[in-house]
Structure formats: C-alpha cells, structure tokens
Structure 1
Amino acid sequence: MTSAASTVFVVTAERSRAVRLAGTLAQADVLFIQDAETLLREAHVRVPDVVLLYSDTPGVPLSQVLPMLRQRQELSNTWWLAVGTHGLGELLAAGADALISDASPIEALSLQVQTMLRRVVQARSAHDRVGQLQRRMDTWEHEERVRDQLVHMLVHDLKNPIAAVMGLLEIVQDDTRVPEDARDLVRIARDETQHLLHLAANMLDVRKIQAGKMNLRRELMFSPMFAEVIEQARGDIGSGLRDRNVRVEVQQDMSPADADPEIVRRIMANLISNALKHTTNGGAIGIFVSLLEDAVQVVVQDNGEGIPEDDIPNLFAAFEQSRLTLHGRFDTGMGLAFCKMAVEEHGGTIGVESQRGAGATFRFTLPLSRDTDDDDDSADLLV
C-alpha cells in the first residue's frame, strides 16, 4: 500500500505507458516525462519517489543524466528503475537500482514500482528517526558543554576565596591570644572549609574524567612514595583525624606501581575522609598498602557504623551516599565517584566490604609498572 504523497516519474516518449501505470497505482501521482531535458527540469521542481527510465527514450541518453541526478542530495532516497529491452546495461552502470523488461505485464511493472515505493517510505522514516536522534545528540552535547563550563567556572571561582579563608583561619587558630574554646570553633570552621574545597575539586575532576580530559602523569610509585602520599592525604583532611586512632602500614621493597601520585593522594584523601565521617571520636582507621601478584593493593578500613547492604551497589555513583551517617555534613557523593573513576582510569579496580555496625573496608588496586616487569624478564634472559 503506497502513500498519497508518492510521486512516480515515467520517462518515455510514449504517454500511454504512463497512463497504463497510473491506472494500477491509485495512491500515487504518475507524471509523464517525455525526455532527459524535461526530467532534469521537473526533478528540480518536484522530488520523485520512483523514476522509470525507458531505455528507448529519444534525445539525450538517460544514462548520461542519471549520474548527475544521483549526486543530488534531495534525490538520495529516489529509486531508479530501468525499463526496456536494449540499453539496460548502460543504465545499470550509470546508477539504476533495478531493471525490468518492457515486455513484462503491466501488473509485474506495477508490483515492482510498489515495492520500491514501500522502500522509499521505509528509508525516509529511518532518515527522519536518524535526524531526530541527531538533534537530540546535538542538544545533549550542548547541555554537556554548558555544564562543563558552569562546573569549571564555579570551581575556579571558588578555589581562590576558599583557599584565602583557610589561610586566615589557620592564622587565627595559631594565635595564642584566641581563647581555647574559640580556637576549637575556628578549627571546625577550617575543617569545613577544607571539606568545601574537596567538594569543588571532586566535582571538577569527575567532569574531567567523564569527558576524557583527565591526563594522568604516571610515575613509578615505590613504597616510600606511598608512605609520603598517605601522609599528605592525611594532612589534606584536617584536624579531625586527631580524634581517631590511625594505623598506617606500607609493605617495604614493593615493586613500583604505575600511577599518578597526585591523583592517588586525592583518592586516599577521599577514602580516609569517608572513614572519618563514619566513625566517632576514638574510632580506628587503618591504611594498608601491600603487593599482590600483578598490582599494588591499598586498603582503607574503619570500625565505624558500616554501610547498609542496600546502599552498596550505588555507593560509587555521583550524588549517592549512604543513608546512615554519624555526622550531619552534606555530601554530594562525588568523592567516592571520583575514586572509582580515577582508579579505573589507572586500569585498577575498587570495591567495598561492609557489615552494619562493624565498619567498612575499601580496597583498590593500581597496576604494576610494565617497565619493571620487562626489566626483570630481560635480567632473567641474561642469566
């Protein structure tokens, strides 16, 4: 069944051929086109769905104009049917989609045209769907660019004033003239300011990783560097760790990991901060670094409240966090989302084990340096 909007051109010197075909295509407009020149002119006025090219049409050979017509964008969905007894090879070589003998019954010719019309409808429908999807994609890409620009602007506009506030709070905190109770308030204000800075940085980094713009500066991380990075991460968190029992163990003489120390520091800071958030004063936090067969494993565990089982599957998603927390501090969940993305960007894995009321254990791995493995293999061969 064809559409009322379908248009069929019949290019032939015999008008009767177009009239006979029109009698079998009730839902299509069949137009008689007497020669190649008329075809070129009419195709500019009205886009046909199917064009019948009779090989015996006098004048300029249709095989010469067909390649020009097939190059036109508006005719990309048009089907071209060569009809005749002689000269069909030239039309087929020029770009005809199919051919049929002019001795065929009109019913056979009509059936062929109807099949082509259905394919035109299907092609245009698919083209429309592709166009809709492309417009949605363009809209989504525009929204992503706007979000990236907004996040970038917010973070960079916030970092400098936040850093300035932190510096001033440190000065006040170290001033001996400030009463002890007021100094405690200043310390809390500084810790919260540090937390705000982490939120802003995590937001920017998550967007960078999602956009594929996080360029890792990999180095060989030996045991001493892991100890140094952990110490720096503890300093990034603030004074809250003074009220926790923190235990750090780094296996000595490990094969080096291939990682970005600054990003590893950020991962550690987020995981330690998360442990701090879910423990009370006097709680225990353990940080352990050890060598596995093909990676370095880092473990951060605490004896806090634990994570409900239902929350674990979504724990590393942005804007998700455990419903249970010992503190009222707002958290976007960006910290753990950043950890997952950053670890996987390194080629490692991250996971969590937890039991309600028995704390949580986060583990992530970093791949070993391939250069070191190659050197070891070379040494073995030399021996």
Structure 2
Amino acid sequence: MSIAHSQVAQAQVVFVVSHDRAHAELLAPALADAEVFSIPDAETLLREAHVRPPAVALLYADTRGVPLAEVLPLLRQRAELAGTYWLAVGRQGLGALLASGADALVSDATPVGALALQVRTLLGRAAQHRDLEGRIAQYQRRLETWEHEERVRDQLVHMLVHDLKNPIAAVMGLLEVVEDDHRVPDDARDLVKVARDETGHLLHLAVNMLDVRKIQAGKMHLRPELVFSPMFEEVVEQARGDVGSGLRDRHMQVEVAPNLSPTRADPEILRRVLANLVSNALKHTITGGVIQLHIWQNEDETYVTVRDDGEGIPAEDLPNLFAAFEQSRLTLHGRFDTGMGLAFCKLAVEEHGGRIWAESERGRGSTFTFTLPLAQDGEDDDFVELLS
C-alpha cells in the first residue's frame, strides 16, 4: 500500500515495520478504521515517518538491516512524532527496543485479533494526545493574544497617565493661586475650590490606575523602613493633605497609639493607601460627617482602621469591593470612580505582607481595616544600634 497516495488522517496511520510484508497484510483487515502501511526497514522508517507521522508503529525486532533499536531514539526526538506510540513485537531483542524508547512489548505469536485490539487502544490514546496538543496550541494562541493585549494596555495606561499628570498638576497649581487671590469673590472662590478638588480627584484616578498596573506586573518595588508612632502621625497628616479641602466639611478624628513597636512599611505607599481610604470615606459621608482613623497594635501586627458614619455599603457589593473597576452602587455622590483606589490599597497592603477587609452596615457607615507586619527582631536591633 503506497503512503504517498494515502489521504487518511494522521490519527489513523499505522506502520508495521518488518521485512515480512505479511505482518501488515494480516493486520490490515482487523483495523478497518485505520490505514496500515508496510515499512521494510529502518531507513524507510526514518524517511516515511517524516512524510506521514504514524499514530502507532509496530517494530518487529527481527527486521533486517540497521537495528531498529538504533534509530528509535532518533525518531523519539522528532517533534512531529511526539504523539506516536511505539510497540515492540517479537521474541528476542525486545529488551534493546524497550531500552531505546518502545512504549510496550508484545510477542509475535500474539493472535491477530488480540494484536489489533491492542493497536486500537493505542490509536485511541494517540487521538487523545493529538486532541490535547490541539487544545494546548489553542490556549497558547489565546495566551499570546492576551499577553499582547496586556502589553498594549500597559503602554496605553502608561502613556495616558504620564501625558495627563503634568497638565493636571499645572491646572491644580493655577486653581490654588486663583483660590488664594483676595480679589476673587467668595461665590467664585467656592467654585474654584470645587474645581481644584475635582482636578485633584482626577489626578488620583490617573496615578492609581498606573500603580495598580505596576503592582500587577511586579514592577513596583517597595522601599520599606521602620515606622514608629511619630512617623505614623506624619504619614497620616500627609495623607490628609493629599485628600484635599473636602475634609474641611467633615470631622476627622485621628488616634495613633503611643510607643508603637516598629512596623516595616514603605512610608510613601502607606501614605497613598491612607489617602485612598480617607478619600473613600469622604465620598460616602455627608457634610458634617465623622471620619475616624485609628492605628494600634497587638502582639503580631499593626492595625489601621478608617471608619465613617456614611450610608454604608450593600452586602452584595462587599465581595468585589477591592476589584478594579468595581465600586458600591450605593453612594451619596455622583462622582465617577474607577474603583482603582481600593484595588491599589489591596495590592499594596498584600505586597507588604498584610491583609485588608471591609465591614459595613446599611445606614451605619463602613469600616476599612488593614494590617502591616511588625519588624523582625534583627531589624529592630539594627535600628537600636544606629541610635546608640
């Protein structure tokens, strides 16, 4: 039977490698759903296996010419033959074929029906392997497409943020100058204040978007320091300044426990996390509302809570609260928010080795809590040595 003229699918191709053509002629009728080819020697096997990779190849150990045990390792290295099953057939020389990579052994005295049954089993496995390879290739293409889209998205976010930051900062500076000008009427000054606050909010959205992408890509590297009570107080004040003038209409209560043990944290990232949580509390409270920020410790961790007395968060919104582009559907303000602020908080806290969660009750406000790890004993000792 000529290989060149066969149009049978790869999964149904069977090679019978033997100088005795009768082996293939006897097996072919028992494999009606397969195409059986007689291969006389190792040289022909090397050539034809490249033209039409078989799903199953029966290797008769007594085949004349170059020993099959010598060419089988070469065949097993070919990528197109990765799904081929090699069945060694005979009585002598099977050990060499098995050592060379044969998948199974069978006696040449095995009845044709039993041999055909074993070949059909191997054909089924080969078909499964081929199907699996197809799925893997499909998933690989999807992965490559996804990676390409991620790179494009990262480049777009990076470009947008960097192109927006400078003009937004310039607008904020100009609005601040106008707001402080005594010649501006009070009613106009109020409008300028609103414009400056909203411009600051836009800047925070852009920066949070960039930082979330950086953390997800593993490109944001922490610069941890040993943080004590005085530095916590300083970071809180900086975060309050970042939130802006909206806090003037709220009652902000801050309590930092004295004599805190050293906490290992990046002060700049901690400042950003606090600013985002306070800004979130501001968004969910009315004028005159109360926002409480409390920092304390237990034996193992530093706890930071930001509590507000706003409208609360619906229970169905809590599970996805820290996901990007998710936010509570219940809000007192119509301000657009990407949800990147809370997503950044979660990623940043977890990057420190801490945890973050939210608790809320409708009409009773919300409490956001996160933890930070305490400094290890060796780090604390190093700090004491620096002071001594």
Q: TM-score range by the shorter chain?
A: over 0.9
Instruction: State the distance in 2 between where 1:17 and 1:39 align.
Output: 16
Count of residues in Structure 1 that have an aligned counterpart in Structure 2: 377
Match of 1:142 in 2: 148
How much does 1:374 deviate? 6.6
* Structure 2: runs of 5 or more not aligned: 1-7
Match of 1:74 in 2: 80
How much does 1:311 deviate? 2.2
Amino acid at match of 1:221: V
Q: Is 1:40–2:61 an aligned residue pair?
A: no
Match of 2:220 in 1: 214
Deviations 1:307-344 (A, max 9, x none): 22332222222222222222221111111121122112
How much does 1:203 deviate? 0.8
How much does 1:97 deviate? 1.4
Is this contact kept in 1: 2:11–2:130, CA < 8 A?
no
Q: Is 1:354–2:360 an aligned residue pair?
A: yes
Identify if the C-alpha distance between structure 1 residues 33 and 4 changes in structure 2 by more than 3 Å, giving closer, same or farther: closer
Deviations 1:128-166 (A, max 9, x none): 111111111111111111111111111111101101111
Deviations 1:196-242 (A, max 9, x none): 00001111111122222221110111001111011111111111111
Instruction: State the distance in 2 between where 1:59 and 1:307 align.
Output: 81
Using the TM superposition, name which of 320-329 and 235-244 deviates more: 320-329
Q: Is 1:101–2:111 an aligned residue pair?
A: no
Deviations 1:174-210 (A, max 9, x none): 1122122111111111110000000011111111222
2:133 to 127, 130, 145: 127
Match of 2:198 in 1: 192
Amino acid at match of 2:154: D
Match of 1:319 in 2: 325
Q: Secondary structure at the match of 2:137?
A: helix
Is this contact kept in 2: 1:4–1:28, CA < 8 A?
no
The 5 A counterparts of 1:267-286 are 267-286=273-292
Identify if the C-alpha distance between structure 1 residues 360 and 372 changes in structure 2 by more than 3 Å, giving closer, same or farther: farther
Q: Is 1:16–2:17 an aligned residue pair?
A: no
1:338 to 325, 344, 350: 344
Instruction: State the distance in 2 between where 1:302 and 1:146 align.
Output: 39
Q: Secondary structure at the match of 2:252?
A: strand
Instruction: State the distance in 2 between where 1:354 and 1:4 align.
Output: 61
How much does 1:360 deviate? 1.8
How much does 1:58 deviate? 1.6
Q: Secondary structure at the match of 2:317?
A: helix
Amino acid at match of 1:157: D
Instruction: State the distance in 2 between where 1:100 and 1:151 align.
Output: 62
Match of 1:381 in 2: none
Percent identity, aligned pairs only?
70
Instruction: State the distance in 2 between where 1:108 and 1:309 align.
Output: 64
Amino acid at match of 1:130: I
Amino acid at match of 1:158: L
Instruction: State the distance in 1 between where 2:244 and 2:110 align.
Output: 89
Instruction: State the distance in 1 between where 2:117 and 2:132 align.
Output: 23
Match of 1:86 in 2: 92
Match of 2:236 in 1: 230
Match of 2:5 in 1: none
Instruction: State the distance in 2 between where 1:124 and 1:289 align.
Output: 59
Deviations 1:296-316 (A, max 9, x none): 111211222222233222222
Using the TM superposition, name which of 191-200 and 128-137 deviates more: 128-137
* Structure 1: runs of 5 or more not aligned: 379-383
1:264 to 267, 270, 290: 270
Instruction: State the distance in 1 between where 2:353 and 2:10 align.
Output: 58
Amino acid at match of 2:238: Q
TM-score (norm. length: structure 1): 0.93
Deviations 1:18-68 (A, max 9, x none): 111112111111111112222222222221111111122222222222222
Is this contact kept in 1: 2:55–2:126, CA < 8 A?
yes
Is this contact kept in 2: 1:5–1:29, CA < 8 A?
no
The 5 A counterparts of 1:232-247 are 232-247=238-253
Is this contact kept in 1: 2:355–2:370, CA < 8 A?
yes
Deviations 1:104-136 (A, max 9, x none): 222222222112111111111111111111111
Amino acid at match of 2:228: F
Q: Secondary structure at the match of 1:313?
A: helix
RMSD: 2.0
Instruction: State the distance in 2 between where 1:240 and 1:259 align.
Output: 27
